[in-house]
Amino acid sequence: MDIPAVSDSSWTESVRPKFHGSARAMFPVVLKGLFLTIITLGIYRFWYMTNVRRFLWNNTEVDGDFLEYTGRGVELFIGFLIAVAVLVPFYAMLFLAPLYMGAEAAAVAQGLYGFALLLLAQYALYRARRYRLTRTIWRGVRFQQSGSGWGYAWRSLLWLILTVLTLGLAYPWMRAGLERYKMTNTWYGDQQGAFSATGGQLFWRTLLVWLAALVVIGGPIAFVAGMEATGNIGAASPAHALILVSVIGFIVLVPVYWAVEFRWWANGCSVGPAAAACDLGNFAFFKVYLGYLGVALLFGLVVGAIGLGIGFALHSGGVLEGMAAQARPPVVFFVAFGAFYFLVGLVFAALWQVFGVRPIWRKSFESCEIRGLGALMAAQSVTPEANAFGEGIADAIDFGGF
């Protein structure tokens, strides 16, 4: 890979970030990480995640200089241990409550636990964001997040209640409110972030997607349900094929919605004098999914062919019949089957990282222009970086993502 010559951006020009990580460079990182993750029953995943982030950050270039990720696997691991310490008694109570309580008391207790878990999840989400930001360095200055995890958790809970009460109508304003909290608490050195996008904008921009979803997804389901309710069609009539329309509609509309929302979000973000302007296409994320689907399908075909070949070889060799005659097939059979299953799952997961996560990362960055970057001069913030708790509970609850 060639490093581009140092660009000399003038103060007014806008700068487009660039991502240089190729699939070929990422594949070994992912495959090795996933393999070690499997044989250590998941313990290695903190180091794996760290390596993937390093790859993504290290290959992201903004105005000639690359991002740096300074997080370490051991930090995430310690965070995980803390989360286990907090969550295990919690889960144990959840598991034992129905045994020692009456049915009603157990239901109430489980409801309360669910509520607490939701709050904890939001807290963890915010803390995880803080961890990632404080481990992100650009031009020798680190990002930082102020605000409090519990403050964010309560805010998101109140917003969630409001959204439920308004049957989802408040959702765009919830997104805007929470993003505003996150961005105004985001710092690049001593430069504060801001969020200028509004819930009203998101509402109008996504209205069409929601309406399309109502027609394409809700329509066929309502039609078929109506027909079934009136007894006009049997168990498996051609009308049921309409459900396929719903499924396809869902597959297309979710990434489209995601892209529209991302564009809205990115356009609202700024740090100090630098503001983003995003021109992500409506179908950009959908294309990523389509690409991944194609690659996965191809791999699936190869695996299927290999599986058939092995099956045929065993069959013609009389091995299968020999096993069927025995009461207990040899353990080797199960071990081999298990190993094959693991290997295939491993490659599928790796393919998702390389052909799903990587292009989404790339498009998220490359679709944004940053204006006023030349005027952004930050001094190192005096606040220390987030402690070594890593992402703690967020990892144990597992939110995925970056």
Pick out residues in 343-362 that bind another protein (CB under 8 A).
345-346, 349
Q: Decide whether 119 or 346 has the Cβ nearer to another protein.
A: 346
Q: Which amino acid is at 372?
A: G
Report the alpha-carbon distance of residue 220 to residue 248 in Å, rounded: 12
Q: Decide whether 25 or 243 has the Cβ nearer to another protein.
A: 25
- Using the rule CB under 8 A, is 24 a contact of another protein? no
Instruction: In angstroms, give the least distance from the CB of 82 to another protein.
Output: 14
Report the alpha-carbon distance of residue 7 to residue 10 in Å, rounded: 9
- Using the rule CB under 8 A, is 395 a contact of another protein? yes
Instruction: Please check whether residue 356 is in contact with residue 285, taking contact to mean a CB–CB distance below 8 angstroms.
Output: no
From the list 26, 45, 79, 163, which residue makes contact with another protein (rule: CB under 8 A)?
45
Q: Decide whether 162 or 293 has the Cβ nearer to another protein.
A: 293
CA atoms within 13 A on the CB side of 80: 16
Q: Helices 45-58 & 73-100, crossing angle to 10 degrees?
A: 130
Q: Decide whether 238 or 400 has the Cβ nearer to another protein.
A: 400
What token pair was written down for 151? 């403050």
Q: Decide whether 35 or 223 has the Cβ nearer to another protein.
A: 35
- Using the rule CB under 8 A, is 387 a contact of another protein? no
From the list 37-45, 107-115, 235-243, 297-305, the region that binds another protein by CB under 8 A is 37-45
- Using the rule CB under 8 A, is 81 a contact of another protein? no
- Using the rule CB under 8 A, is 312 a contact of another protein? no
Q: Decide whether 45 or 358 has the Cβ nearer to another protein.
A: 45
Burial 12-44 (b: 16+ CB within 10 A, else e): eebbebbbebeeeebbebbbebbbebbeeeeeb
- Using the rule CB under 8 A, is 7 a contact of another protein? no
- Using the rule CB under 8 A, is 228 a contact of another protein? no
Instruction: Please check whether residue 249 is in contact with residue 217, taking contact to mean a CB–CB distance below 8 angstroms.
Output: yes
- Using the rule CB under 8 A, is 236 a contact of another protein? no
- Using the rule CB under 8 A, is 169 a contact of another protein? no
Number of residues that bind another protein (CB under 8 A): 71
Report the alpha-carbon distance of residue 277 to residue 196 in Å, rounded: 12
- Using the rule CB under 8 A, is 31 a contact of another protein? no
From the list 84, 194, 245, 290, which residue makes contact with another protein (rule: CB under 8 A)?
84
Instruction: In angstroms, give the least distance from the CB of 240 to another protein.
Output: 20
**CB burial class (10 A; 0-12, 13-18, 19+) of residue 197?**
buried
Question: Between residue 248 and residue 307, which ones bind another protein under the rule CB under 8 A?
Answer: none
**CB burial class (10 A; 0-12, 13-18, 19+) of residue 4?**
exposed
Q: Decide whether 41 or 167 has the Cβ nearer to another protein.
A: 41
Instruction: In angstroms, give the least distance from the CB of 94 to another protein.
Output: 10
From the list 189, 199, 255, 359, which residue makes contact with another protein (rule: CB under 8 A)?
189
In this structure, how many other beta carbons lie within 10 angstroms of the beta carbon of residue 125? 22
Burial 346-381 (b: 16+ CB within 10 A, else e): bbebbbebbbbbbbbbbbbbbbbbbbbbbebebeeb
Q: Decide whether 68 or 369 has the Cβ nearer to another protein.
A: 68
- Using the rule CB under 8 A, is 142 a contact of another protein? yes
- Using the rule CB under 8 A, is 224 a contact of another protein? no
Report the alpha-carbon distance of residue 134 to residue 187 in Å, rounded: 9
